[in-house]
Amino acid sequence: MHPPVKIEFKNALSAGFLLVFSALFVATAVDQSLNKQIERVIQSPQGLSNIIWLWGALSMAASLLFPLIISLLCCHTLARPTVPRLQFVKSKLELGLIETLRAWGMTFIWSFAFIIPGLIKYTYYLLTPFVVMFSTQYERGEVDALKLSTEISKKFWWRLNFWLALFYFALPIMISSVLDEYRVFRLHPVTATLCVLLETFILFIFHFIMLKLFIKYLHEIEVPNGTDV
């Protein structure tokens, strides 16, 4: 039985903040580098070459791996579980990748056939990594991660969509429209670093809001069944 999880934003102002900032810094630099390589292949006078598949695969792998690692670090920093940070990341990373790939696959299948149901499935499966990190039932193999994510998401679906619209669309569009040119490290390294710093704060705020809601409803589901979170 796990000890109760207490989410506190003040935990973000710790050594964990530097780790999340560093991970986001590396992720942003890698993303910009891969996008530049893909752009060069596309604009090559010789036309497209097979190397674009390599850069595309690396870009997809990075877009899966880095957000999950950053999310793990954010959650560990905010929740302060008794498990050491490195052990927490190592123990949750593999299952987190597997379940995230499942969520991507299901979302893609629904989006391929129907756009709106695909978007709904995306919101339902958004909490899948949190299930892997904090659900006792999932850890015991008693529940499917996607099903539990869907069940919890439905409990605050409108609020979830509001926060998604704010943090995934409104804020990124605002930041991009104002600072897009200054986010490129090879052109503006100082301002690009400051942008990463701002994005780190935003990430912590988003994870704090999501975790507070997730843990609340996870507790309602798991405690009646004799488990704790």
Q: Please indicate, yes or no, if residue 150 is contained in any of the structural domains.
A: yes
> What is the DSSP code string of 44-103?
-TT---THHHHHHHHHHHHHHHHHHHHHHHHHHHHH--SS-HHHHHHHHHHHHHHHHHHH
Q: Please indicate, yes or no, if residue 36 is contained in any of the structural domains.
A: yes
* Residues 77, 21: Cα–Cα separation, whole Å: 12
Percent of the chain with pLDDT over 70: 95
* Residues 193, 141: Cα–Cα separation, whole Å: 41
- Amino acid 126: pLDDT: 93
Q: Please indicate, yes or no, if residue 4 is contained in any of the structural domains.
A: no
Q: Please indicate, yes or no, if residue 83 is contained in any of the structural domains.
A: yes
Question: Quick one: pLDDT band at residue 4, thresholds 50, 70, 90?
Answer: low
- Amino acid 41: pLDDT: 87
Q: Please indicate, yes or no, if residue 3 is contained in any of the structural domains.
A: no
- Amino acid 3: pLDDT: 52
For 23-42, write each residue's pLDDT tens digit.
999 999 999 999 999 998 88
Q: Please indicate, yes or no, if residue 1 is contained in any of the structural domains.
A: no
CA angle 131, 134, 139 (to 5 degrees): 80
Sign for the pseudo-dihedral over CA of 8, 10, 16, 19: positive
Number of domains present in the structure of the chain: 1
Q: Please indicate, yes or no, if residue 110 is contained in any of the structural domains.
A: yes
- What is the per-residue burial (b if ≥16 Cβ within 10 Å, else e) of 148-162? bbbbbbeebeeebee
- Amino acid 226: pLDDT: 44
> Phi/psi zone of residue 12: left (φ > 0), alpha (ψ -120 to 50 degrees), beta?
alpha
- What is the per-residue burial (b if ≥16 Cβ within 10 Å, else e) of 95-134? bbbebbeebbebbeebeeeeeeebebbbbbbbbbbbbbbb
Q: Please indicate, yes or no, if residue 2 is contained in any of the structural domains.
A: no
Which residues span the domain enclosing 96? Answer: 9-225
* Residues 96, 85: Cα–Cα separation, whole Å: 15
Question: Quick one: pLDDT band at residue 45, thresholds 50, 70, 90?
Answer: confident
**Reported pTM:** 0.87
For 63-110, write each residue's pLDDT tens digit.
999 999 999 999 998 887 778 888 999 999 999 999 999 998 888 888
